[in-house]
């Protein structure tokens, strides 16, 4: 009995500071999630024949070896309301330029191919391609819509996002997509990584959540008034950023632009990566968003994620084991158990909530909370290490 009392005292000594910090983080999480019921609902596609006249829109698609995925993107844009599509190719070696040329004659909208200049020092490939698309856009265009080649635009996407921006007086709008996951590894890891964004920034479409330095954006479908890009100097402010979408959106917000991040699950689908390893390497390396935040913000987010997402499931399992093995927990131990049970309950509720963000739900999707500690570890690793390779390019100096 004496041994157990000593052990309980040691546990209380360890658990008390953890309890205080985790309780504070749980309250912050509740505050972030409390405004979810007032968020803007998922955008419903506008039928082309019902759409109002759409201002001039230039769609810019950056490409680097996208011959397999670009056809799905262009097919999705076919017939949508826009002035032109500018495909900016970064010297692909897989036939991407040849495919674009083969489509130019028969494409209903004006389809142009631009080859960007060699990557200048200090630039990351994606913002450089988007910057060249902006520079080559039709001077009469009022909006620039950046669309990734791996996306599958759904009917009415362009008209819907532009008319929503006009109606809500947004200067910049980006959409969250509906994800396509096919393999068990993707279903386990990808939702856990997606949850790190929800924990940090709240629900998509939140009207009240974001301050100017916490704005979120998604470059897979990123609409901006051309005059806003003109004031920003195109993509120069995000030249060295591996999260150029968030960097640019936050810079615009700091200058007074109204920025929206809306639920586009009915307008856009995407198969970002094809395996757990690719998801870990490619998506995980930029999810820390450190290029768009201060070190204090970035590390605060890492600590916050550890408390509310990374620890609850393993800590709850440990506390239940202690209940079984020891004669009893102290008030501190039971309180910590209750907090973590509550956090796990929230996590499962959020898992049910994000199910609509996926085209189909496999068995392993429902097990993805077990990968939360791994997802938080990935954010930590990304925070510590700056990317040196991205989509076949080696970066020796950025930022």
Number of Cβ within 10 Å of residue 30's Cβ equals: 12
d(CA 314, CA 316): 5
* Residue 160 near residue 75, CB atoms below 8 Å: no
Q: What mean pLDDT is reported for the chain?
A: 90
Helix (H, G, I), strand (E, B) or coil at 90: coil
pLDDT of 252 > 90? The answer is yes
Q: Is 131 buried (19+), middle (13-18) or exposed (0-12) by CB count in 10 A?
A: buried
* Residue 310 near residue 301, CB atoms below 8 Å: no
pLDDT of 1 > 50? The answer is no
Max mean pLDDT among 42-51, 295-304, 379-388 falls in 295-304
Residues 6+ apart with CB under 8 A from 40: 205, 206, 207, 260, 262, 263
Q: Which two tokens stand for residue 184?
A: 């068990």
Q: Is 342 buried (19+), middle (13-18) or exposed (0-12) by CB count in 10 A?
A: middle
pLDDT of 49 > 70? The answer is no
Model confidence pLDDT, tens digit, residues 167-215: 999 999 999 999 999 999 999 999 999 999 999 998 888 766 567 888 9
What are the structural domains of the chain? 2-36+296-391 (no CATH), 48-191+202-275 (3.90.550.10)
Please name which of 365, 269, 395, 340 lies closest in space to residue 26, comparing C-alpha atoms. Answer: 340
DSSP code at position 281: I
Confidence band, pLDDT 50/70/90 cuts, at residue 393: low
pTM: 0.92
d(CA 325, CA 3): 13
């Amino acid at each position: 009995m004496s041994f157990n009392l000593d052990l309980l005292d040691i546990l209380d000594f360890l658990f008390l500071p953890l309890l205080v910090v985790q309780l504070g983080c749980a309250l912050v999480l509740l505050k972030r999630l409390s405004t979810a019921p007032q968020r803007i609902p998922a955008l419903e596609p506008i039928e082309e024949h019902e759409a109002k006249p759409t201002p001039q829109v230039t769609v810019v698609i950056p490409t680097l070896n996208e011959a397999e995925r670009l056809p799905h993107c262009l097919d999705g844009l076919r017939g949508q309301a826009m002035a032109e599509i500018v495909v900016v190719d970064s010297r692909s070696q897989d036939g991407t330029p040849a495919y674009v040329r083969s489509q130019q004659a028969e494409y209903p909208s004006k389809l142009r191919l631009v080859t960007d200049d060699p990557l200048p020092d200090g630039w990351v490939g994606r913002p450089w391609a988007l910057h060249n698309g902006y520079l080559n856009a039709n001077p009469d265009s009022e909006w620039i819509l950046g669309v990734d080649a791996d996306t599958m635009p759904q009917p009415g996407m362009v008209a819907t996002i532009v008319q929503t921006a006009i109606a809500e007086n947004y200067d910049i709008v980006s959409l969250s997509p509906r994800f396509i996951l096919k393999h068990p590894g993707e279903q386990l890891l990808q939702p856990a990584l997606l949850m790190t964004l929800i924990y940090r920034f709240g629900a998509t479409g939140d009207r009240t959540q974001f301050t100017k330095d916490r704005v979120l954006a998604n470059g897979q479908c990123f609409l901006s008034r051309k005059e806003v890009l003109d004031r920003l100097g195109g993509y120069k402010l995000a030249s060295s950023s591996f999260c150029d979408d968030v960097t640019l959106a936050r810079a615009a917000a700091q200058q007074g632009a109204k920025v929206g991040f809306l639920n586009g699950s009915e307008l856009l689908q995407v198969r970002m990566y094809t395996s757990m390893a690719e998801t870990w390497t490619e998506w995980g390396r930029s999810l820390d968003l450190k290029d768009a935040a201060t070190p204090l913000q970035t590390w605060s987010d890492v600590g916050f994620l550890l408390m509310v997402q990374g620890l609850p499931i393993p800590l709850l399992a440990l506390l239940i084991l202690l209940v079984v093995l020891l004669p009893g927990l102290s008030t501190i131990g039971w309180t910590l158990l209750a907090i973590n049970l509550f956090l796990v309950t929230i996590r499962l509720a959020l898992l049910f909530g994000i199910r609509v963000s996926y085209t189909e739900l496999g068995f392993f999707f429902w097990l993805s909370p077990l990968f939360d500690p791994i997802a938080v570890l990935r954010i930590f690793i990304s925070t510590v290490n700056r990317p040196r390779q991205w989509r076949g390019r080696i970066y020796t100096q950025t930022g």
